[in-house]
Structure 1
Amino acid sequence: MSAIRAEGFIPPGPADFNLPPLGHTKDTAPTFDFMGYAFFAGVTKPMLQLALSAILVFVFFYYASRKRALVPGKLQYIGEAGYGMVRNSIVRDNVGSEHFMRFVPFLVSLFFFILVNNYFGLFPGIQFPTASRAGVAYALALIAWLVYNSVGVQKHGFFGYLKHQTLPSGIKGPVLLLLIPLEFFSNIVVRPVTLALRLLANMFAGHILLMLFALGGEHLLTMGGAYIGAGLMSFVMFMLICVLEMLVMFLQAYVFVLLTAMYIGGALADEH
Structure 2
Amino acid sequence: MTLASTLAAASGPPEPGPGSFLLPPAFSIGGWEVNKPEIFLTLSAVIAFGLVYAMARKSAVVPSRLQFAGELVYDFVRNGIARDNIGSKDYAKYVPYLFSVFLFVLINNFYGVFPGIQFPSMSKFAFPVALALVTWLIYNIAGIAQHGVFGYLKHQTVPAGAKGPILIALVPLEFLSNIIVRPFTLALRLFATMFAGHLLILLFSLGAAYLVTDYANSAVGIPAGILSFVIGIGVSFLDMLIMFLQAYVFTLLTAMYIGTAISDEH
TM-score in same-fold range (> 0.5): yes
Query: Which position in structure 1 is the counterpart of 2:239?
Result: 245
Q: CA deviation at 1:119?
A: 0.1
Q: CA deviation at 1:10?
A: 2.5
Select which of 97, 107, 110 maps to 1:119: 110
Mapped partners of 2:11, 2:57: distance in 1: 57
Query: Which position in structure 2 is the counterpart of 1:8?
Result: 12
Mapped partners of 1:170, 1:12: distance in 2: 51
Q: CA deviation at 1:7?
A: 3.4
Cα RMSD for the two superposed structures = 1.1
Moved over 2 A (4+): 6-10
Query: Which position in structure 2 is the counterpart of 1:56?
Result: 47
Mapped partners of 1:201, 1:149: distance in 2: 25
Query: Which position in structure 2 is the counterpart of 1:192?
Result: 183
Task: Say which SS state the counterpart of residue 170 (structure 1) adopts.
Answer: coil
Q: How many residues are aligned here?
A: 254
Query: Which position in structure 2 is the counterpart of 1:77?
Result: 68
Whether the aligned pair in 1 keeps the contact of 2:14 and 2:210 (CA below 8 Å) is: no
Query: Which position in structure 1 is the counterpart of 2:144?
Result: 153
Q: CA deviation at 1:162?
A: 0.5
Mapped partners of 2:21, 2:60: distance in 1: 45
Query: Which position in structure 2 is the counterpart of 1:204?
Result: 195
Query: Which position in structure 2 is the counterpart of 1:101?
Result: 92
Consecutive unaligned residues in structure 1, runs of 5 or more: 1-5, 24-30, 33-37
**TM-score normalised by the chain length of structure 2:** 0.93
Select which of 122, 130, 146 maps to 1:131: 122
Task: Say which SS state the counterpart of residue 121 (structure 1) adopts.
Answer: helix
Task: Say which SS state the counterpart of residue 163 (structure 2) adopts.
Answer: coil
Query: Which position in structure 1 is the counterpart of 2:83?
Result: 92
Q: CA deviation at 1:9?
A: 2.7
1:271 aligns with 2:265: yes
1:220 aligns with 2:211: yes
Mapped partners of 1:137, 1:61: distance in 2: 22
Task: Say which SS state the counterpart of residue 25 (structure 2) adopts.
Answer: coil
- For 1:141, the aligned partner's letter is A
Mapped partners of 2:225, 2:51: distance in 1: 39
Task: Say which SS state the counterpart of residue 128 (structure 1) adopts.
Answer: coil
Deviations 1:151-193 (Å, cap 9, x if unpaired)? Answer: 0011111111101000111111100000000100110111111
Mapped partners of 1:20, 1:269: distance in 2: 47
Task: Say which SS state the counterpart of residue 159 (structure 2) adopts.
Answer: coil
**TM-score normalised by the chain length of structure 1:** 0.91
Select which of 136, 145, 156 maps to 1:165: 156
Q: How does 1:7-26 map to 2 (within 5 A)?
A: 7-23=11-27
Mapped partners of 2:260, 2:84: distance in 1: 12
Q: CA deviation at 1:16?
A: 1.2
Deviations 1:48-71 (Å, cap 9, x if unpaired)? Answer: 111100000100010100111111
Query: Which position in structure 2 is the counterpart of 1:35?
Result: none
- For 2:60, the aligned partner's letter is A
Task: Say which SS state the counterpart of residue 254 (structure 1) adopts.
Answer: helix
